[in-house]
Structure 1
């Protein structure tokens, strides 16, 4: 039996049965929904899946025909959802408890891959849907990029919230277990800017902020309609934390990895960026 839960622990589920091989998705819709550069999924039979608790906290967002992207309304964690196949449940691996025993996997929608994301030369890569799935292409959000030299722009998947940055963040990959569960992915890619460098251009009243009890700084902001991760203001430190996957404008890639000692057992780092087992030394 495999179990999973959201960041706050309100929503929990279990799978009694085999899991499908891993798929690492680079499509623009997954990038927006999870606010990360790439999202890892497995799947199970609908008959093998069961919610343990917290169903009343689930918010369902239909991102496209047949695809429901549920999330926890309290903490914003992306949750297992449905696909056009009624007999299948899609499971974001970052929310699973322990080691599911999955390794490797294929990379899909690599035609949408961010240019600085590195994929192992030994991995299978597919430009769009895997062969034989017989699904229509899923276009990503059509959002205008910022003008050259102007502010960086970002938004959520449904478009209810948009923002801009007057400062270029310095991005990094965080592999801690909190980030993994928060965005339901192998890791998050975040950047930090001065708090006054962030301006919401519309929809700020649609942003929910969850602060993890007992954590000094950890929390996440998300759209209450679609669950997409968004920038979060940290007033106590005078900064704003920006998830790279929420950006519409081109941005540089991360400069380092942190908390690699907590890295997901099913994930491999394929770049040469500096790695730190915990926080980056200052």
Structure 2
């Protein structure tokens, strides 16, 4: 495992992964889809060169052009990606070995639940975290 290498999996052991972190920055997504899938905001890190194993892995097309990966046995929501992408966003809570991860920013805060407040000093974005011309944290699906 390289210094950006990490591994982890679901609580029941049915799905495991390893790969290279794109960074140790964790993004907290407050969109309705992430909150409904995870039970609260979803904290994730970008993962490339990912290898996923386990017979219980299931993918769900959660919105146009995007899918979520989860364990079909314990139900743990582990991955999000544009359909067909080689890179994934992985649940920060599922990473069990590798460099320390740190929460870096909040996205889709306009959709956050009414039952909580964001009180840390980290940057907040009402939608995606990209300004015009900036490199997105995660690429949009290709139109191919």
TM-score by length of 2: 0.78
Alignment counterpart, residue 30 of structure 2, candidates 26, 45, 55: 26
**CA pair 105-2 structure 1, distance change in 2 beyond 3 A:** same
* Other structure's SS at 1:76 match: coil
The unaligned stretches of length 5 or more in structure 2 are none
1:76 aligns with 2:75: yes
Residues of 2 paired with 1:100 and 1:112: CA distance? 30
The unaligned stretches of length 5 or more in structure 1 are 137-282
Alignment of 1:80-99 (within 5 A): 80-83=79-82, 86-98=85-97
Where does residue 50 of structure 2 map in the other structure?
49
Q: Select the structure that is richer in helix.
A: 1
Report the alpha carbon displacement of residue 81 of structure 1 after superposing the two structures with TM: 3.4
Kindly report the root-mean-square deviation, in angstroms, between the aligned alpha carbons of the 2 structures: 2.3
* Other structure's SS at 1:22 match: strand
**CA pair 21-83 structure 1, distance change in 2 beyond 3 A:** farther
- Tell whether the 8 Å contact from 1:20 to 1:44 is kept in structure 2 after alignment: no
Number of aligned pairs? Answer: 131
Where does residue 116 of structure 1 map in the other structure?
115
- Tell whether the 8 Å contact from 2:92 to 2:101 is kept in structure 1 after alignment: no
User: 1:235-257 CA distances to partner (integer Å, 9 max, x unpaired)?
Assistant: xxxxxxxxxxxxxxxxxxxxxxx
Q: Which has the larger radius of gyration?
A: 1
**CA pair 28-2 structure 1, distance change in 2 beyond 3 A:** same
- Tell whether the 8 Å contact from 1:78 to 1:92 is kept in structure 2 after alignment: yes
Residues of 1 paired with 2:99 and 2:84: CA distance? 23
Q: Which structure is richer in relative contact order (CA contacts within 8 A, separation 6 or more)?
A: 2
- Tell whether the 8 Å contact from 1:59 to 1:71 is kept in structure 2 after alignment: yes
Q: Select the structure that is richer in strand.
A: 2
TM-score by length of 1: 0.42
* Other structure's SS at 1:81 match: strand
